[in-house]
Chains A and B, each alone.
Chain A
């Protein structure tokens, strides 16, 4: 199985900050990496797919990069609605593993 490791596990930031979350795969997954946002009590929603493609309707302050084993999700200027938990997920091979999550909190 491919293990996905996110860092940090939690992060405190302020509105307007630039934030970067990292995801590392235990083996190469090319660009088969997706990012999801989850708010309390809600289902996750996809933000970025195929490492760097922004899902329709997602604000342009979100961006993804990377390939192989190392990936990042960047929020260029944090907005109040961005405080949530973020997950990476590989769609390279079954089982489709997720990272453990990064909880983004208000400083």
Chain B
């Protein structure tokens, strides 16, 4: 059974950093496309980043240069390093498995990141 469990969310001050982690089970992270999708409180879904099985990474313009997606093959985890956080980064962050080049087929339960002083 595929499971994705995020951790690492919390309250951080503007300009601060946070690292999210997603523990995967039931499949191998490194052989799949993996993404982060976020949802600000009461708002819609926003794609954040993807890492392809080959290692290529891509980002939304809103986070480019501040966020870094990576994976730990030995732990079968997906990470998101978030630097220089802004109030507008406040959201629930979902770890998501992408089915080949197509849709997001499995989602974690989400972890809340709050950027506030």
Contact = CB atoms under 8 A, between A and B. Distances in A.
A72 interface: no
11 contacts: A43-B109, A44-B45, A44-B107, A46-B103, A49-B103, A50-B102, A50-B103, A87-B45, A94-B58, A95-B47, A95-B60
B83 to A, nearest CB: 20
A43 B102 contact: no
B47 A43 contact: no
Given A43-B108, A100-B44, A101-B44, A94 B50 contact: yes
Contacts of A55: 103, 105
Nearest to B105: A46
A69 interface: no
Nearest to A56: B105
Interface in A87-107: 87, 89, 91, 94-101
Contacts of A44: 45, 94, 104, 107
- Considering residues B50, B61, B105, which has the most beta carbons from chain A within 10 angstroms of its beta carbon? B105
A1 B62 CA distance: 12
Nearest to B92: A43
Nearest to B100: A91
Interface string B28-57: 000000010000000011110010000000
Contacts of B46: 98
Nearest to A92: B101
Nearest to B47: A96
A100 B42 CA distance: 11
Contact of A91 (B44, B102, B107): B102
A85 B17 CA distance: 31
A43 B97 CA distance: 13
A99 to B, nearest CB: 8
Contact of B44 (A32, A46, A87): A87
Nearest to A43: B107
A61 interface: no
Contacts of A91: 98, 101-103
A52 interface: no
